[in-house]
Structure 1
Amino acid sequence: MFGTKTGSRRLTLVLATVTALALGATACGGTTKDDAAEESGSAAAGKADPRAETKKGLTVAFLPKQVNNPYFTTADKGGEEALRELGSAYKEVGTSSGTDTAGQVSYVNTLTQQQVDAMAVSAQDPGALCTALKQAMRNGVSVVTYDSDTNKDCRQVFVSPASAEDLGRTQVELLAEQIGGKGEIAILSAAQTATNQNTWIDVMKEELKKPAHKDIKLVEVAYGDDDAQKSFQQTQGLLQEYPNLKGIISPTTVGIKAAAQYLSGSKYKGRVKLTGLGTPNDMRAYVKNGTVEQFELWEPAKLGALAARAAVALESGQITGKEGETFAAGDLGTMTIGADGVVSPGEPTVFDKANVDEYDF
Structure 2
Amino acid sequence: MTTTRRAAFTAIAATVALSLGVSACGLITKDSSSASPFAGAPATASGNPGAPIKKGLTIAFLPKQVNNPYFTIADNGGKKAVTELGSTYKEVGPSSGSDTSSQVSYVNTLTQQKVSAIVVSAQDAGALCTALRQAMKNGIKVVTYDSDTNPSCRQVFISPATAQALGRSEVQLLAKQIDYKGEIAILSAGRSATNQNTWIRYMKEELKNHAYENVKLVKVAYGNDDAQTSFQQTQGLLQQYPDLKGIIAPTSVGIKAAAQYLSGSTYKGKVQLTGLGTPNEMRPYIKNGTVTAFELWDPAQLGSLAAYAAVSLASGHINGMAGETFAAGQMGLVEIDDNGVVLLGDPTIFDKTNIDSYDF
Are the aligned partners of 1:76 and 1:304 in contact in 2 as well (CA < 8 Å)? yes
Deviating 4+ runs (over 2 angstroms)? 43-47
2:124 partner letter = D
Q: Distance in 2 between matches of 1:67 and 1:232?
A: 20
Tell whether 2:142 aligns with 1:143. yes
Are the aligned partners of 2:187 and 2:234 in contact in 1 as well (CA < 8 Å)? yes
The 5 A counterparts of 1:102-141 are 102-141=101-140
1:139 partner letter = N
Tell whether 2:292 aligns with 1:293. yes
Are the aligned partners of 2:46 and 2:324 in contact in 1 as well (CA < 8 Å)? no
* DSSP 3-state at the match of 1:319: coil
Aligned counterpart, 2:306: 307
Tell whether 2:354 aligns with 1:355. yes
Q: Distance in 1 between matches of 2:44 and 2:164?
A: 32
Q: Distance in 1 between matches of 2:267 and 2:338?
A: 43
Q: Distance in 2 between matches of 1:44 and 1:183?
A: 50
1:269 partner letter = K
Q: Distance in 2 between matches of 1:169 and 1:44?
A: 34
2:269 partner letter = G
Are the aligned partners of 1:273 and 1:292 in contact in 2 as well (CA < 8 Å)? yes
The 5 A counterparts of 1:166-185 are 166-185=165-184
Shift of 1:52: 2.0
**Partner deviation per Cα, 1:242-273 (whole Å, 9 max, x = no partner):** 11111000000000000000000001000000
2:138 partner letter = N
Aligned counterpart, 1:154: 153
Aligned counterpart, 1:219: 218
Q: Distance in 2 between matches of 1:343 and 1:47?
A: 16
Aligned counterpart, 1:10: none
**Partner deviation per Cα, 1:115-174 (whole Å, 9 max, x = no partner):** 000010000111110000000000000000000111100000000111101101110110
* DSSP 3-state at the match of 2:284: helix
Aligned counterpart, 2:272: 273
Shift of 1:236: 0.5
**Partner deviation per Cα, 1:174-216 (whole Å, 9 max, x = no partner):** 0011000111100000000000000000000000001121211
Q: Distance in 1 between matches of 2:355 and 2:77?
A: 20
Shift of 1:45: 6.3
Shift of 1:51: 2.1
Q: Distance in 2 between matches of 1:206 and 1:76?
A: 32
> Cα RMSD (Å) of the superposition?
1.3
Q: Distance in 1 between matches of 2:91 and 2:343?
A: 22
* DSSP 3-state at the match of 1:103: helix
* DSSP 3-state at the match of 1:196: helix
1:236 partner letter = Q
Q: How many pairs were matched up?
A: 320
Aligned counterpart, 1:8: none
Q: Distance in 2 between matches of 1:132 and 1:225?
A: 23
TM-score, scaled to structure 1: 0.87
Shift of 1:326: 0.8
Are the aligned partners of 1:172 and 1:207 in contact in 2 as well (CA < 8 Å)? yes
Aligned counterpart, 2:20: none
Are the aligned partners of 2:273 and 2:290 in contact in 1 as well (CA < 8 Å)? yes
Tell whether 2:190 aligns with 1:191. yes
Aligned counterpart, 1:53: 52
Tell whether 2:259 aligns with 1:254. no
2:303 partner letter = G
Are the aligned partners of 1:332 and 1:345 in contact in 2 as well (CA < 8 Å)? no
Aligned counterpart, 2:229: 230
Aligned counterpart, 2:24: none
* DSSP 3-state at the match of 1:340: coil
Q: Distance in 2 between matches of 1:283 and 1:47?
A: 43
The 5 A counterparts of 1:16-95 are 46-95=45-94
Structure 1 stretch displaced more, 208-217 or 61-70: 208-217
* DSSP 3-state at the match of 2:339: helix
**Partner deviation per Cα, 1:79-110 (whole Å, 9 max, x = no partner):** 00001111111000011000111110010000
Shift of 1:343: 0.6
Tell whether 2:208 aligns with 1:209. yes
1:110 partner letter = T
Aligned counterpart, 2:324: 325
Q: Choose between structure 1 and 2 for higher RCO, CA contacts under 8 A separated by at least 6 residues.
A: 2
Aligned counterpart, 1:239: 238
| Percentage identity across paired residues of the two chains | 71
Shift of 1:338: 1.4
Are the aligned partners of 1:248 and 1:273 in contact in 2 as well (CA < 8 Å)? yes
